[in-house]
Structure 1
Amino acid sequence: MSTTIIGALTGAILAVVALVFGFWGFLLTALFMAIGAVIGRIASGKLDVRAVTDAFTGRRTS
């Protein structure tokens, strides 16, 4: 799947959730989608957690 299709599906899911569950349901769904994306990036090895923590603590710049 291309990134355009994934982005369109994500937008469609968030739109349906916003219509069905309202604003707070939308925010909760968006938060869980973001957490899932980060976990997926870590599991696939595309995100180095140590580099991210070093950047947040000021040890290294990004």
Structure 2
Amino acid sequence: MSATTTGIAVGAVLGVVAVAFGFWAFVLVAVFIAVGALVGRIASGRLDVSSLVDVIRGRRSSS
């Protein structure tokens, strides 16, 4: 699946949720999508958790 296809699918899901259930359901689904993407990146090894924690704590910059 390309990034464009994935973006279209995520946008369609968020759009349907927003229309059917309202703003707060839209926000909740968006948060779940972001958490799922984060877990997927960690599971596939594309995200280094220790460096992410360092960036959040302000110990190291991302540049």
Common fold: TM-score over 0.5? yes
Aligned pairs, how many? Answer: 62
Give the Cα separation in 2 of the matches to 1:57 and 1:24. Answer: 29
Question: SS of the residue aligned with 1:46?
Answer: coil
CA RMSD of aligned residues (A): 0.7
List structure 1 segments (4+ residues) > 3 angstroms apart after TM superposition: none
AA at the equivalent of 1:51: S
C-alpha offsets along residues 8-45 of structure 1, whole Å, 9 cap, x if unaligned? 01100000000111001000000000000000000000
Which residue of structure 2 aligns with residue 32 of structure 1?
Answer: 32
Where structure 2 has 5 or more consecutive residues not aligned to the other structure, the ranges are none
1:7 partnered with 2:7: yes
Where structure 1 has 5 or more consecutive residues not aligned to the other structure, the ranges are none
Which residue of structure 2 aligns with residue 49 of structure 1?
Answer: 49
